Structure 1
Amino acid sequence: MDNFRRNLNGPDAVGLLAALRQGTLSVEQLAQAQLARLDQVQPRINGATHIFRDQALAQARLLDASGDRSLPLFGLPCSIKETFAISGEMLTAGSARMAPQVPGEDARIVRRLKEAGAIVVARSNVPEFAMTAETTNPRYGRTNNPLDVHRVAGGSSGGEGALVGAGASVFGVGSDILGSIRIPAAFCGVVGFKPHSAAVDQRGTWPVVTGNTRSWLGLGPLTRSVRDARLVYDVIATQPVAAVPPAPGRLVMPGGFPLAMREPCMAEALAAARTALLEVGYRPEAQDFSDVPYLYSQIPKLILDDFYDGWLRMLSTPAAGRFSPWAELLRQLLKKSTIDEGLLRWMLIAPLMKPRSAVTVNTIAARFAEARSRYQALLATDGVMVLPTLGLLAPAHGQMNRLSLKPGVNGWFTAHTLGNYLDLPAMAIPAWKFTDPATGLPPSISVMCAPGAEAQLFAAATRIEAALN
């Protein structure tokens, strides 16, 4: 076990913000401390693709000299996922073949953070094309888990999970289309919040999703605490969370689908989280989710329909030549790969999984749309679900893609994917009180709600966080 375990007694963003506003800590002091921590951990975790040292310190001095201390994120250092546009900075999605993009303006989410007084200290690493749960790519290399560098940090916001989990970033922001915020949060022992798809402006983030999976994608924060997640979310969201806490509502207990947990600590943490809500008045309500196996089995079909042809185009360039998955497979066998092994796995299953007709695509998409409407109506404004974020702790490098990209219904991943294809706000919360004795790693518990019920989610998450830590 490495010595990067998060100090649970250390200040979170809300605590640091209070010190900055009171003047007991200067913005420059905090920026220097975060940059020093980043220098300390970066050689081992490789979470950052670029460090904005000079720009961050210059901005910190400006805020100290004339900054508005009432700004919601006044002086807080943060990191940004590499697939979010920063004006004048190369966006590569971790690919050595795709032609880099150099945006002329910041993504809307980055603009909101800067306008709120946050200081961007680093960009964070991603899997190639941000499509797998192992953060490794041909351009920037592999990101390691800050809790155990021999294990994966998750993906696709794995650099964010590693930086926040190592204490190198006060908070980060990422994107999540199949768990890409919550998987790194779970593996790295931090909080990760995926809002619903329309909650945060996605302009300026890569890729632009226009197909049937566009409602699966959400942008949100990775933080040290639930209250930090709310602080950041209220800045980046088009509509902040209601200030008045709601009365305890219904604890929806979904059943009828395979749900597997590899370690005993996960079931113990799940039971404790549910009990914490029942003790304050949440009413248990069993519901049938027996169409989850069908929906889960169709995920690769819609992902490949939306993305596969674009991947081929982006990987085929004048410099690199026309891309062929089968030729790349041979190159990888010869140790001469040009793309990441995880991305190639996606492309090799395309002949089996990619739908061959628009009729098939529309039929599958209609089933997802019907389920999305039905389950959102079931949860309504007072219902929350509490499930394990994932059914496994962070595996060793090289194992996560084999597990998560394996055909068939996999109970380790059925819970977190619900949040994407049903377009539910979903928050992952570490359970340090239930640390696995064999590995020292914490399990992670998720709470979900329907769009519009975020106040209920944050109230439940706050209660769960207190019970699990």
Structure 2
Amino acid sequence: MSELVLESATRQLARLRSGEISVVELAEAHIRQIERLNPAINALVDFDAERVRLQARALDETTNAIGPLHGLPVTVKSSIATAGYLCEIGSTINRGSVAREDAAVVARLRAAGALILGTTNCPEFLMAYETDNLLHGRTSNPWDLGRSPGGSSGGESAAIAAGMSAGGLGSDSGGSVRLPAHFTGICALKPTPGRVPGRGHLPPCVGPFSVLGAIGPMARTIADVSLLFETLSGQDAIDPVSAPIGFRRLDPVSLREKTIGYFEEDGRVGVTEETRMAIRDSVRVLRDAGFRMEPFRPRTLELLRQLWWKFFVQCGAMFYEPAIRGKHDQLSPIFREFLSFAEKAGPLSATELLNAWAELDLLRSRMLEEMESHPILLCPVASIPAFRHGERSWRIGESQVDYLDAVRHTQWFNVLAAPAVVVPVGRSPEGLPIGVQIVARPYEDELALGVAVVLDEAFGYRPPPMATNID
């Protein structure tokens, strides 16, 4: 039964529907995998095997209509309110905080029949690309326990990569589902904000974060990510950024009429040779599949990145100031590091914030105009594969690349409010996963997923060795 946990979510659901296995049996397989691996990885921070068993029995015994995710074992990032589970956002300031009601997207998970295994670790207040905090400690990458699974949805990605969960939910304001997917060799979608309801995420996706931030599905295959997106997307009538757009099925012929622009780096920060090779291999596969592939790099990338810094770093620190005032001695080193970045930049004045807000719309318009000729983009997720815990600079060729520069590739598309998908393609010399990023224009999430399916079928998920070494 243990091999079950490494199968795709769609395959697990097929077994459930055929009666080959019960929900209880599938739940027990995941419980065993969690009990075996979570002590070393530290991905789940609120997990109770008996609570999972009670859910599984109830799902097996239900006489209600069967939902599309009936019995599927999933996890949820601990910043997304899940009733009855810890929702501490990785901070000792919130120690013991339990969600009283479900976020809108978690309510949809339950309505679809998903079995919630527990909630997963994140960096304090989500403001880091490494998952570590004083409350629950450090999460490790199942490919190498000495390395990070990324952040801020690092606990979620590690759980899914190691077969402790069939899929789940993360959130992304600067790459927080995409970088962990890249680091751990799974798939993820940062959707257009509002297509998956953001209501119930902590902190709330408001102000500039209503553009930057989104809750996104994570899983081992693009088919699984697409299933989660189809099931969970749709307008939330009381969310002001949620558009009345449902899931749209694509015509494969019309998809191939879109020109895909690709680039290996942004011209400012280098990437590893293996990262370049992942892009080249992806171009080859997509061209062979009938796509028009052209070298193309938007001119507005650096301007978008500078604007992301103002909103994510400077505004982010300003948002958190009331909550942390007088409590700096309780903050984790990783969050204090974020505050030091913000302190160097300084707070934004009212005039600077107003100008930045206007520039946001102007730059998005310029970028969308550039993408008229290339409505889909293919590019790296980061300059490097998974880094060692606490590592903050790397040598790439003749250049030294620092922490936030190495992960700039995701930030552009948060400012654009664009959907972006990550799929594993390559490997580093150490055998670490390397993903690529497929980006579409806002509200064209299905285009990015449609392209990603082709790459997933050619490359795709492989389990880390520790996930398959069953005693």
For the superposition of Structure 1 and Structure 2, which TM-score range results when normalised by the shorter chain? 0.7 to 0.9
Structure 1 contact 98–314 (Cα < 8 Å) conserved: no
1:351 counterpart = 2:348:
no
1:441 and 2:445 aligned: no
Structure 2 CA distance, aligned partners of 1:52 and 1:396? 30
Q: Distance in 1 between matches of 2:394 and 2:121?
A: 20
In the TM superposition, residue 65 of structure 1 has moved relative to its aligned partner by 2.0
Counterparts of 2:63 and 2:278 in 1: how far apart (Å)? 43
Post-superposition offset of 1:266 = 1.4
Alignment-derived partner of residue 264 in structure 1:
273
The answer to whether structure 1 residue 293 and structure 2 residue 302 are counterparts is yes
Deviation at 1:236, TM superposition (A): 1.3
Determine the C-alpha separation between the residues in 2 that align with 1:323 and 1:386: 43
Taking the aligned partners of 1:32 and 1:255, their CA distance within structure 2 comes to: 43
Could you report, residue by residue, the CA deviation over 1:198-226 in whole angstroms, capped at 9, with x for unpaired residues?
21111111001322232010111110100
Superimposed CA distance per residue, residues 139-184 of structure 1 (whole angstroms, 9 cap, x where no aligned partner): 1111000110000010000100110011100101010000000111
Aligned pair in 2 of structure 1 residues 9, 386: CA closer, same or farther (>3 Å)? farther
For the residue of structure 1 that corresponds to 2:93, the secondary structure is: coil
Matches of 1:121 and 1:218, distance apart in 2:
22
Could you tell me which runs of 5 or more consecutive residues in structure 2 were left unpaired when the two chains were aligned: 235-244, 461-471
Bigger mean CA offset, 156-165 vs 275-284: 275-284
Q: In the TM superposition, what is the alpha-carbon distance from 1:261 to its structure 2 partner?
A: 5.0
Are the aligned partners of 1:292 and 1:414 in contact in 2 as well (CA < 8 Å)? no
Partners of 1:200 and 1:158 in 2: CA distance: 20
Task: Indicate the residue corresponding to 2:353 in structure 1.
Answer: 361
Q: 1:408 to 1:397 in 2, by over 3 A?
A: closer
Aligned-residue offset at 1:301: 2.1
Equivalent residue of 1:61, what SS? Answer: helix
1:194 and 2:196 matched: no
Name the counterpart of 2:327.
323
Q: 1:71 to 1:261 in 2, by over 3 A?
A: farther
Q: Which residue of 2 aligns with 1:179?
A: 175
Task: Determine if contact 2:46/2:86 at 8 Å carries over to the other structure.
Answer: no
**Corresponding residue for residue 430 of structure 1:** 424
CA distance in 2, matches of 1:206, 1:462: 31
* Contact 1:381/1:456 (<8 A) preserved: no
Residue pair 1:296, 1:414 contacting (<8 A) in 2 also? yes
* 1:410/1:339 CA distance change after superposition, 3 Å: closer
Aligned residue type for 1:88: G
> Which residue is 1:242 aligned to?
248
Distance 1:289 1:353 in 2: 26
Can you give the 5+ residue segments of structure 1 that lack an aligned partner in the other structure? Answer: 1-5, 317-321, 329-337
Seen in structure 2, the aligned counterparts of structure 1 residues 295 and 378 have a Cα distance that, compared at 3 Å, is closer
1:254–1:289 contact (8 Å) kept in structure 2: no
The residue aligned with 2:464 is none
One of 2, 20, 33 as aligned partner of 2:29: 33
Change (3 A) 1:15 1:356: closer
Is 2:5–2:29's contact at 8 Å kept on the other side of the alignment? no
Number of the residue aligned with 1:46: 42
CA distance in structure 1 between the partners assigned to 2:300 and 2:448 by the alignment? 24
**Residues 113 and 67 from structure 1, CA distance in 2 versus in 1: closer, same or farther, beyond 3 angstroms?**
farther
Aligned to 1:230: 226
1:112-261 pair list within 5 angstroms: 112-238=108-234, 239-246=245-252, 247=254, 248=256, 249-253=258-262, 257-258=266-267, 260-261=269-270
Closer/same/farther in 2, CA of residues 378 and 237 from structure 1, 3 Å limit = farther
Equivalent residue number for residue 452 of structure 1: 443
Query: Which amino acid in the other structure matches residue 327 of structure 2?
Result: F
Distance in 2 (CA, whole Å) between partners of 1:390 and 1:26 is 40
Deviation at 1:343, TM superposition (A): 1.0
2:287 paired with 1:278: yes
RMSD: 2.7
CA distance in 1, matches of 2:391, 2:403: 17
SS of residue in 2 equivalent to 1:152: coil
Distance (Å, rounded) in 2 between the aligned partners of 1:85 and 1:456? 29
**Superposed, which structure 2 residues align to 1:380-391 within 5 Å?**
383-391=375-383
Letter aligned with residue 219 of structure 1: I
**Contact 2:72/2:115 (<8 A) preserved:** yes
1:394 to 381, 386, 394: 386
Q: Check conservation: 2:314, 2:345, Cα contact below 8 A.
A: no
Q: Conserved in 1, the CA contact under 8 Å of 2:265 and 2:379?
A: no
Distance 1:339 1:259 in 2: 33
Aligned to 1:370: 362
CA shift digits 1:340-382 (9 cap, x unpaired): 2121112123333134421112222322222223323543598
1:154 partner SS: coil
Aligned-pair distance for 1:455?
Answer: 2.5
Q: How many residues align?
A: 442
1:298 is displaced (CA, Å) by 3.6
The one-character-per-residue Cα deviations of 1:226-253 (angstroms, maximum 9, x if unpaired) are: 0000011111111443224342111123
Per-residue displacement from partner, 1:423-454 (whole Å, max 9, x unpaired)?
111111112xx3223x1112111101012322
Judging changes above 3 Å, is the alpha-carbon distance between structure 1 residues 36 and 380 closer, same or farther for their aligned structure 2 residues? Answer: farther
Measured in 2, the distance between the counterparts of 1:107 and 1:421 equals 24
Q: Please report how far the alpha carbon of residue 264 of structure 1 lies from its aligned counterpart in structure 2 after TM superposition.
A: 2.1
Residue identity opposite 1:242 in structure 2: R
What percent identity do the matched residue pairs reach? 27
CA distance in 1, matches of 2:38, 2:282: 34
Q: Judge conservation of contact 2:265–2:271 (CA < 8 Å) in 1.
A: no
Provide TM-score, normalisation by structure 2.
Answer: 0.87
Are 1:21 and 1:69, in contact at CA under 8 Å, matched by a contact in 2?
A: no
Instruction: Determine helix, strand or coil for the equivalent of 1:50.
Output: strand
